[in-house]
Structure 1
Amino acid sequence: AAYVNVPVYRAFHEWMGRSDVLGEHWERWDAGDRAASLDAMPDTVVDDLLVHGSPDECRTHIDRYVAAGITTPVLSIVPLAGVDVDDAIRDLAPGRNR
């Protein structure tokens, strides 16, 4: 969530027309209330920006990019508690049995 507050990224999201959905988040962030700003981050923005979920859900999302013409999806695995990055890479590999 912090990235959407960096001036260049904030300007990008404004340009993308996300001011209405991110306005409350930005107001709380600018007021210094980081916890409240995170609460105000809309799920729709997260869904628009990140591939997240179970391995099956992530592969389905990535498959939509490929179906739309992306020939080389590039992934950046975010290490979260309880998630082994090596396992995540294997789980998301092309041709992985579902």
Structure 2
Amino acid sequence: PWRWFDDSMLDCCESLDNIKQKGITFGKVACLAHCNGAKADSFRTSESSVDDFRSYVVSCASSENCHIIVSYSRKAFKQTGSGHFSPIGG
């Protein structure tokens, strides 16, 4: 399955050296999912509501074929760094 990976599978939408130096964007994470055989839909806060997000989480959490990765700012939690990706539910 696509979710079990190693670094060699990250060299798809962006060079692995560039990812190591600069990190990876939300769009590139979705691209990596596609490259590794997953169907990925991207939802941005500017294009949907918090109620849409909550509804999707509930729907996905009750499915065996759905996984969610969120991207958020670590600064809001007073952590070091900036962006972070984290799986939830599924």
Q: Same fold (TM over 0.5)?
A: no
Please report the TM-score for the alignment, with normalisation by the length of structure 1: 0.27
Larger CA Rg, structure 1 vs 2: 1
Q: Which structure's residues are more often helix, by fraction?
A: 1
Choose between structure 1 and 2 for higher RCO, CA contacts under 8 A separated by at least 6 residues: 2
TM-score, with structure 2 as normaliser: 0.28
